[in-house]
Amino acid sequence: MSTYTHAEALQPRATYLYEKSNVINVSNRGRKMSAVIGATAFAAAKAIKQPFIKKLLQLTSGFMLYRAISGNCPVTAALQKNKTGDMHAPSINIRTSVLVNQSKETVYRFWKDIENLPVFMTHLKSVRVIDPKHSHWKIKTITGIPVVEWDAEILQNNINQLSWRSLPGSMIETAGKITFEDWGENSTQVDILITYRPPAGYIGTAVANLLKKPFEDIVKQDVENFKHYIEEGKLMTEVLLVDIK
Cβ atoms < 10 Å from Cβ of 173:
24
pLDDT for 158: 93
CATH value of 92-232 in 1.10.1450.10, 3.20.20.140, 3.30.530.20, 3.40.50.300: 3.30.530.20
pTM as predicted: 0.56
Range(s) within the chain of domains with CATH label 3.30.530.20: 92-232
pLDDT digits (tens, 9 = 90+) for 29-86: 888 888 889 899 888 888 887 777 777 888 888 888 888 887 777 776 666 654 544 4
What is the rounded average pLDDT of the residues 149-156? 92
Q: What is the pLDDT of residues 161-219, one digit of tens each?
A: 999 999 987 777 889 999 999 988 889 999 999 887 765 544 445 445 555 666 778 78
Distances (CA, A) of 102 to 109, 115, 159, 215: 11, 20, 14, 27
